[in-house]
Amino acid sequence: MAIYQLSISTADQNFTCLDQKLQGCIEKSDLSSGLCTVFIRHTSASLLIQENADPAVRRDLHHWFGRLVKEGDSLYTHTSEGLDDMPGHIKCALTATSVSIPFVEGRLCLGTWQSVYLWEHRYGRQQRQIVVHLGE
């Protein structure tokens, strides 16, 4: 078993690919096969496995979720942290705060077109904390 903590800087509502950082954790460990569980310690950003080939997929997800969860909705009562905060919490609730990916022979078992992304749901710069657990 190995546990790593990553600090990821984000800028605005965007996707940050975590594949290389996760692969680096596997390479630092003495494990060749097992399960890589990734957990984000926040409630206004999320994790997802998504297509890595065409950036239009991520743009479409961003726009679709923006239509689904509108900023400034009059139903929100949690408004003291900005117009993007409550929508960020809802988007996080609709997605995931953890993902698990098997790894074999020291490599993540992602599909050809898959990557692991941190999806930032807030504007501005954020420092996000990720915990990576590698186990057999």
DSSP structure string for 80-101: TT-TTHHHHHHHHHHS-SEEEE
Q: Single out the residue of 127, 82, 119, 78 nearest to residue 97, CA to CA.
A: 119
Structural domains in the chain, sorted by start? 2-135 (2.60.120.460)
- What pLDDT does residue 111 have? 97
> What's the pLDDT tens digit per position in 55-99?
999 999 999 999 999 999 999 999 999 999 999 999 999 999 999
The dihedral through the CA atoms of 117, 119, 124, 128 has a sign that is negative
Residue for token digits 């390479």? 27
Res. 135 pLDDT band, cuts 50 70 90 = very high
85 Cβ partners below 8 Å, 6+ apart? Answer: 44, 78, 79, 122
- What pLDDT does residue 23 have? 98
